[in-house]
């Protein structure tokens, strides 16, 4: 899994980067077909205290991009929220993908029997 970081209005420390990577390394448990992950981190100094740090994560899976955005007092709070959202979305996509494969197999069986 390839993780790309894009940062705006601050410099990303190695400690924060490792913590974010650690959180995102758990995503393949929910979906095995992850192609790449893009993390956008943005510090917005003119916003309220609880919305200064914006975290956006885009996960590319076959035929879809799963996206989640969260705001927080720091990046670690925001990445926790993003991880929770992505887990739900990826689990839903995994179930959808399995159902789609089942339906395709049924169609192929019907064609063979005809």
Residue 52: give its domain's CATH number.
Answer: 3.30.160.100
Q: What pLDDT, on the 0 to 100 scale, is given for residue 28?
A: 87
Mean pLDDT in runs of 10 for the chain (114 residues)? Answer: 90 90 89 90 89 93 89 90 90 69 67 66
Q: Are 39 and 6 in contact (CB under 8 A)?
A: yes
- Domain span at residue 32 reads 2-113
Q: What is the Cα–Cα distance from 114 to 109, expressed in whole angstroms?
A: 9
3-state secondary structure 49-85: HHHCEEEEEEEEECCEEEEEEEEECCHHHHHHHHHHH
Q: What pLDDT, on the 0 to 100 scale, is given for residue 29?
A: 86
Domain count, the chain: 1
**If 0-12 CB within 10 Å is exposed, 13-18 middle and 19+ buried, where does residue 17 land?**
middle
Q: What pLDDT, on the 0 to 100 scale, is given for residue 99?
A: 67
The residue among 41, 99, 31, 102 whose CA lies nearest residue 65 is: 31
Q: What pLDDT, on the 0 to 100 scale, is given for residue 63?
A: 80
Query: Apex CA 75: angle with CA 16 and CA 64, to 5°?
Result: 95
Q: What pLDDT, on the 0 to 100 scale, is given for residue 98?
A: 67
């Amino acid at each position: 899994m390839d993780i790309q970081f894009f940062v705006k209005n601050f410099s990303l420390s190695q400690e924060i980067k490792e913590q974010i990577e650690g959180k995102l390394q758990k995503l393949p448990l929910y979906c095995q077909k992850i192609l790449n992950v893009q993390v956008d981190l943005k510090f917005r100094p003119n916003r309220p205290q609880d919305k200064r740090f914006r975290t956006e994560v885009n996960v590319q899976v076959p035929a879809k991009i799963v996206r989640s955005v969260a705001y927080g007092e720091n990046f670690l709070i925001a990445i926790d929220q993003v991880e929770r959202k992505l887990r739900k979305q990826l689990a839903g996509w995994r179930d959808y993908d399995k159902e789609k494969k089942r339906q395709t197999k049924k169609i192929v069986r019907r064609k063979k029997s005809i």
